[in-house]
Each structure stands twice: as structure tokens, then as C-alpha cells.
Amino acid sequence: FGSLGDQFLTIIGIALISLFYGKKPAIFYFLVSFLGFIILQILFLENIIERHVDYNEYFNDIRNWIISFTTLVVTAVILIFSISYLNNFLVNLVSKLGTKNEELDTLNSAYKNVMSKVEESEKKYKSIFETLKEGIILTNEEGDIIDCNKATEKILGFPKERILQINLHSKNFNLVYPDLRPVPNEECPGVKTLINGIPINNFEVGMQTGEGLRWLIINSAPLKTQGFGVFLTLNDITDFKKLESNQIIFNRYFETFLGNIEDYVVFKDKEGKIIFCSQSLAQITGYSDWKEIVGKNYEDIFPLEVSKNYKEEDDIVYKTGEKLIGKVNALYVKNSEIRYEQTNKIPLFDNNRNVVGIISIGRDITEILREKEIIQEKEGKINLLLNSAAEGIYGIDLNGNCTFANKSCINMLGYSSEEELLGKNIHNLIHHSYENGKPMAFSECSIQKTIIYNIETHCEDEVFWKKDGNKLEVEYFSFPQIQNGKVVGSVVTFIDISERKKTEKQIIGFAKDLQKLNSDKDKFIRILAHDLKNPFNSIIGFSDYIIKNIDNIEKEEIEEFSKMINESSEKAYTLLEEILLWLKVQSGQLSIQKTNIELRSIVLSIIENLSPLAQNKSIKLSCNIPQNIYIEADINMFKTILRNLITNSIKFTNENGEIEVKIGEIEKKIKIIVSDNGVGMSQDFAEKLFTEQISKTEEGTKGEKGTGLGLTIIKELVQKHKELIWAESEIGKGSRFIFTMPKITNNDEKTI
């Protein structure tokens, strides 16, 4: 600064250092500046530092410089001491300001802490305020709504922004009393509290909203804080009102139930007091109204013996906590009549599974027991008839399971009781194999065909297997069991033909040649003889029953059994005549010898033979069978079957009618169909032709007579082939007679 003549800058530097750093640094700064000035001048004088100056001007001005320098020194000293005093003052002032600032920081921290707690409290208040299920409304002194929670929005059905625009004095909420009268606006709780300054508690009203009528409990209270008016709470009780309404409806249903149910219903508490009971119980115990029984014990309404029995049953339920089901008790009604009830007792539990009551439900089963006795009596008679029969008889359901069996059946099969057969699959139990031990498939069983095709089946060349594993040679008939027009099972009757088989073998041994010629004819006769035996079985069975029970049978039953015996006798006589007649006209061998038959040629030959008979009534016979259709059958038996069927159709076809022989296919069988446009018959009668023995014959359209044996012969010949035959017909529209024969697909054998 000295070399440049800027002493004023040096003074300013001294002043600043004194001000900010104190007296000592200012003196040090001054000494350094002064020493620097001396050294600089020495360097100039010694020419160590060359200075290009005008020395004349320099010396002229040196006087001014010395004056200035002196002024600098004096000024520096004054500044150092004066400003250092000012520095001390400022330091003290700053120190005091720092202390105050710390106090301010402390106050500020406390303020922030208080504000934080206030904000936290406000958040908690808001959280509680917004999550309350009750609606909350705050108003100012003029009735303007200034705040509400979310529950209020839900209850009123519109958003908060709209709610905050409402004034209680001017808004009509369309409130109604519980009896649906409108609530005047001045009677609304909020308005009333604003006007009178009094709280309103538990004010129940209904309010119409977009979701329907809501029921509310409103409480209002004045707010003493300045600027606030009313504090309102809205409690939605709509669901409670619905429950209350449902409870009323339930009570009505319950009373209606108790007043009209025929069963005896009793609700009892743990002390044995009746809480509720049905009107039916009141009526049988001599009370006019079931409510008169409420609060009473069993001892108050029943005889001592009955009430004691009921109490013992209740004690068991209380002790075990288990239901009492199906107990039958004698019940003494008001007129001393003894009736019977079947009782169920059900325990009522509390939350700890302790029995606190009993619900008892009783049903009068007196009439049921009486009907059961009647049914048992009838079943006894039926069982007596079944068990009196010499034939074995059993029934099966659609699955082939045994439903009943008579004594003859049980004894012949080697069982000791019916229970060993009931519910068992009879095919698997006694009919599982052929006589040679080859397994018999379920589908091959003739008894099952009865159920599948709704036809009667008969067999005499199969065996049943006894309990001990030995075979029982039998002849059986299987009849479909019909209920409501549907097949529900089958009834099978069979006889033991073991002795008969032995006799046949002996006859064959004594007269082998003769037996060979007549065996098949004898078998056929035996089949017819069995049909003759059936009526005699009925005659013997019913007459034996009458003899044994003559003192216990009513006149009507004797008359009914006598009619049955008379009908059976007439059937036996008629059948015997037909058998004798058939024996006179029937000849030839009956042994079955199957061969391959070309169907069309055989049918045409039979039609040709019967043409004269058809021409007598101008009936057209036609064959609609393609060539090269082959079946496997006994040629003579097949001709007999077809000839009898066509002859039967001619008999019942009017003049100028038509009879057609055609075929169809079913599985691997050929259906041969003889179709006519004759008088026909009911389908019910048609179904019986080959399932029941029909002895009565009808006259033909021109008075033709018949023995009624023709269809029987046909059926037996078809069954000898183990095939099926049936009829389809409608009155006035003709008939169709259908039977099956095996189809030959590869005709390499000899063909007729």
C-alpha cells in the first residue's frame, strides 16, 4: 500500500480486521504493513528493486507521503482501539443474540412437538370419525352442515360435497314416524335442538332414499363451542327392523305350524316345563288351546304312568345328549281311548354342548299299526299259499337279486332259511353254469330274457346248483312281473325233475331204439302235460287250504276259492281235450336236426301249398324276401311254424285281404315276419299269446274253428330252437307275428 500510495486501503483493512477479529490481529496487521513499507523503501534505496520513477517528483512529494503515512499511523491506532471496542460490543451482542436464538429454537421445537401431537390427535379423530358406523353431522349456529363422516354419506345416499351445502332449517329430509306419518320439519331432532338448545335422544324415523326406506335412530345435542351449533348421530337400524319384521313373520309361521300340524310337538326346558306345543296335543289332552299347556309338566296333562315313562325317556336324552328315535308308546287320550304314538326326542344344546331342552315329536300310528296287522294277515295267507305249493317259487328284481322264496324252493336248493337267498344274485348263486360245468353268461340266461323282452320263458334242459355244490335238474318257467305297466322283475317256478331224468335214462336203456323214435314227441307231450298239471296244482292247493282252514274262512273266500277250483278244472278238461286231439292228428319225429336253409325258396313253397286255402277267401299271399338269405333251423319244425302262422293269419283275415312274409334283422338274428291286414286284436291280448296259456279260441272271419293248440305248438317249436316269438297287433289294422332264427353269413355247409 505504501509503494502505491494507497494508505487509505491500509486504513480500511485495519478497520475491518479490528471490527471482525479484535484489537490484537489489527495491531499485528498494522506492524506487518509498516514493516513491509520500511523493507520496500530499503529495497528501493539499495536498488535491489529497480523503480522507474521520477525522483524529482518523488522527492517533491515525499513530504506529502510522510504526512500521509503519519496520518495512516495515527488513524490506524485510533481505529484499532475504537473499533476493537466496537468489536467487543458486537461480540457480546452476538453472544446474547445466540442465547436468545437458542431459546427461540427451544420454543420452536416445543411448538413443532405440540403441533405434531395436534396433527396426530387430529388424524386419530379423523380416523375414528370416518370409520364410525354411525353417521355424524356437525353444524354451525345457523344450521349449516360443516362436516360429516362417510357413514353419513352412505346413510343419506349422496356425497359429502352435497351434504355440506345443506341447511337443517331449509332442507326437508322427508322423514316419517314408525307409523309412516310424515315428521314436520320443526320436529326434526337437529332443528329442534338448534331452536330450543335441548338434546333429543333415540328419535326413530324412516327416511326415503334411493335404496328404499331406511330406518334411523337420531340423537342430537347442542355444541357449546363458539361457531358450532348441533352434533347429530344417525344410527341405521334398517337391518334390525328387517330382522324384527322377519321375527314377527317367523312367529306367525311358527304359531301356524303349531296350530295345524297333526304330529304332537313339544318344546321343553331343562326343568321339564313345556315352552311350546302343538294344538294337536292340546286336543287329545282335553285343552282348547295349546297355550293353556305352556308352563305345565307332563304330570299335569298325562296319567301318572304315561308321564313317568316320558320323564324317563327325557332323562336319558339329558344324560346322553343323544337323540331318541322311533320309540313307540301307548297314549291315553281324553276319552280314555288307548292310541299309539311313535316318538322322536331331540336334545337342544347351548354353546357349551350342554343339553338345555328337548324337542319331542310324536306321531299317531294307531291306524298304521292296524293296517300293518291287516297287511301281515294277508301276507300270511299269501305265504301259506306259496309255502303250500309243491313247486319251488322265487322272485327276482331287475338286477337279478332275490326278493322272496317259498319253502319248496329253499328245501330243494338245500338252504335252511329264506334269509340265505334274499338280496343275493340268483344267477350267480344257483344258475351260473350249464349242466356240463360250462359257465353261463348273464345274457344267455333265459330268466333274464323274461325281464329284457317281457316274455314268458320255459326251460327243462338246464340245472340249478344247490348250496352244497351239487346240481339240481329242473324244469322252470319264468314270468315277467309287471307294476304300473313296467317290468320290475320276474317270478320263477320250478320243479325237481331229477327222478324224471333218471326214469328217462332207464327207459332209454330198456328201449333205446323205441326211445330214439319217440323221445322228442314224448318231451313235447310232457310239456303239454306240465301245462295240464298246473291247473291240478291250483285245484289241490286251494282245496287243501280250504280243508285245513274251513273253520276260519269266510263264505266269500270259500266262494272265491271254489270259483278258482272250477275254472282250473275247466281249463284242465279243455287242455286235455286239445292234447288228445293233437295226439290223434300229430305224427312224425320231433328230434331237432338243424341245417342251413335258403329262406326265400322255403317260404315260397309253403305259400304255394297254402294258396288254395287263401283263394277260398280271395286273400293274396306274397313273399318279400331277397334271395340267398340263410338261416339255421330244423326244416320240418320251421315249416310247421311258418305254416301254422300263415294259416292263423288266413283264418283272421277278411276276404280280399293280404298276407305278406318278410324279414328283418336284429343283432345276428333274422326276424321272420308274417304280416296281415286282418281283424287284428288288442296289443294286450297280443302280448299274452306267447306269454300265457290261452285255451280259448276265436272263430275266423268265415266261422273257422280251431283248437287253440296251434300257437302253443308254434311257441314250443320256436323255444326248441332257443329263439323268441311275439305278436304285434291293433284292432282293425291287422297283426304281425314275428319269430327269430340264427342268421348264416358263411354258407359253406349243406343247404336246403
Lowest mean pLDDT among 290-294, 525-529, 589-593: 525-529
Asked if residue 110 has pLDDT above 80, the reply is no
Q: Provide the whole-model pTM.
A: 0.32
As a whole number, mean pLDDT of residues 562-578 equals 68
For residues 377-416, one letter each, b for 16 or more C-beta atoms within 10 angstroms of the residue's C-beta and e for the rest, the string is eeeeeeeebbebbebbbbbbeeebbbbbbbbbbbebbebe
Lowest mean pLDDT among 79-83, 90-94, 264-268, 623-627: 79-83
Asked if residue 519 has pLDDT above 60, the reply is no
- Of 720, 499, 707, nearest to 589 by C-alpha is 720
More confident residue, 666 or 284: 666
Q: What is the pLDDT of residue 64?
A: 57
As a whole number, mean pLDDT of residues 673-689 equals 88
The answer to whether 364 and 331 have CB atoms below 8 angstroms apart is: yes
The three grid cell numbers given for residue 294, joined into one nine-digit string: 305352556
Asked if residue 620 has pLDDT above 80, the reply is yes
The answer to whether 650 and 613 have CB atoms below 8 angstroms apart is: yes
Q: What is the pLDDT of residue 434?
A: 92
More confident residue, 112 or 189: 189
Residue 136, phi then psi, degrees to nearest 5 = -125, 130
C-alpha to C-alpha distance for 221 and 233, rounded to whole angstroms: 9
Q: State pLDDT tens for residues 713-752.
A: 788 788 888 899 999 999 988 999 999 999 988 765 555 6
Q: What is the pLDDT of residue 26?
A: 67
Q: What is the pLDDT of residue 626?
A: 93
Q: Which residues pair with 491 in a beta bridge?
A: 395, 479
Q: What is the pLDDT of residue 114?
A: 64
Q: What is the pLDDT of residue 602?
A: 92
As a whole number, mean pLDDT of residues 626-641 equals 88
Of the spans 5-19, 534-548, 566-580, 595-609, which averages the highest pLDDT? 595-609
DSSP for 206-259, written as a single string: EEEETTEEEEEEEEEEE--STT--EEEEEEE-HHHHHHHHHHHHHHHHHHHHHH
Confidence of residue 350 (pLDDT cuts 50, 70, 90): confident
Exposure of 192 in the CB half-sphere (CA atoms within 13 A): 16
- Of 752, 536, 479, nearest to 636 by C-alpha is 752
For residues 97-119, one letter each, b for 16 or more C-beta atoms within 10 angstroms of the residue's C-beta and e for the rest, the string is eeeeeeeeeeeeeeeeeeeeeee
Distances (CA, A) of 293 to 274, 341, 701: 7, 19, 80
Q: What is the pLDDT of residue 546?
A: 80
Q: State pLDDT tens for residues 480-515.
A: 998 888 999 999 999 998 888 888 777 777 766 555
Q: What is the pLDDT of residue 402?
A: 93
Q: What is the pLDDT of residue 589?
A: 47
Q: What is the pLDDT of residue 581?
A: 40
Of the spans 170-174, 376-380, 598-602, which averages the highest pLDDT? 598-602
DSSP 3-state of 386: helix
- Of 631, 609, 630, nearest to 621 by C-alpha is 609
- Going from the N-terminus, what domains does the chain have, and what CATH number goes with each? 7-109 (no CATH), 132-236 (3.30.450.20), 244-364 (3.30.450.20), 374-583 (3.30.450.20), 593-744 (3.30.565.10)
C-alpha to C-alpha distance for 72 and 12, rounded to whole angstroms: 10
The answer to whether 422 and 397 have CB atoms below 8 angstroms apart is: no
Q: What is the pLDDT of residue 433?
A: 92
The answer to whether 241 and 215 have CB atoms below 8 angstroms apart is: yes
Distances (CA, A) of 275 to 201, 258, 271, 296, 359: 37, 12, 11, 8, 10
Q: Say which residue the cell 333251423 belongs to.
A: 633
Q: Say which residue the cell 318279400 belongs to.
A: 624
Asked if residue 23 has pLDDT above 70, the reply is no
As a whole number, mean pLDDT of residues 574-589 equals 50
The answer to whether 151 and 132 have CB atoms below 8 angstroms apart is: yes
Q: Which residues pair with 220 in a beta bridge?
A: 200, 232
Asked if residue 585 has pLDDT above 50, the reply is no
C-alpha to C-alpha distance for 532 and 528, rounded to whole angstroms: 6
Q: What is the pLDDT of residue 31?
A: 74
DSSP for 584-650, written as a single string: HH--S-----EEEEEHHHHHHHHHHHHHHHHHTTTPEEEEE--SS-EEEEEHHHHHHHHHHHHHHHH
Question: What is the DSSP-derived secondary structure letter of residue 185?
Answer: G
Mean pLDDT, the chain, integer: 79
Q: What is the pLDDT of residue 128?
A: 75
Amino acid identity for residue 273 in this structure: K
The answer to whether 314 and 357 have CB atoms below 8 angstroms apart is: no
The answer to whether 247 and 240 have CB atoms below 8 angstroms apart is: no
More confident residue, 474 or 389: 474
Lowest mean pLDDT among 320-334, 436-450, 582-596, 676-690: 582-596
Q: What is the pLDDT of residue 359?
A: 87
Q: What is the pLDDT of residue 2?
A: 42
Strand runs labelled E in 466-591: 471-483, 486-496
Q: What is the pLDDT of residue 14?
A: 66
As a whole number, mean pLDDT of residues 433-451 equals 90
